[in-house]
Amino acid sequence: MGYIMPPKGECSEMFMDSFMGGGGAHIDCHCGIWHIAIDSEYLYEDNPAPESERVKHHHDVDAVTYFELDGKIFCRECVGCRKFVLKYEQFFWNNRQDFRRYLKTRIDQEKAWADQEHLLNILSDIK
């Protein structure tokens, strides 16, 4: 997938794609906005909340998409969420060398533990 540069002051699609997420007919995002896929066949409310400062209608889609980061729900279509998440992306990028070192150390340690466990299984004649 090719990526484009994000709007200034917002996180990138690449960053959002790195996290687990999903979609639904409505989502309450971290910003406190209720996002409603107003035309969704999965929206069971006959009279959903009217659009306002705290309610955003999304037209011509079956679902509003989100991703989870740091225990919070962020709506991919929410500018406020994308701006908030930018601080995480900048933190990851600005500290990437530290993360690389940590991941290498962690992977090496996990392998050592797995090798020890494998050896113990062999010595215990566990297949």
Tens digit of each residue's pLDDT (9 = 90 or more) over 28-72 = 999 999 999 998 888 877 777 888 999 999 999 999 999 999 999
Q: How many CA atoms lie within 13 A of 11 on its CB side?
A: 29
Among 69, 63, 52, 58, CA closest to 25: 63
Q: How far apart are CA 45 and CA 38, in angstroms?
A: 10
Among 24, 35, 82, CA closest to 58: 35
Tokens for 38? Answer: 């107003």
pTM to 2 decimals? 0.77
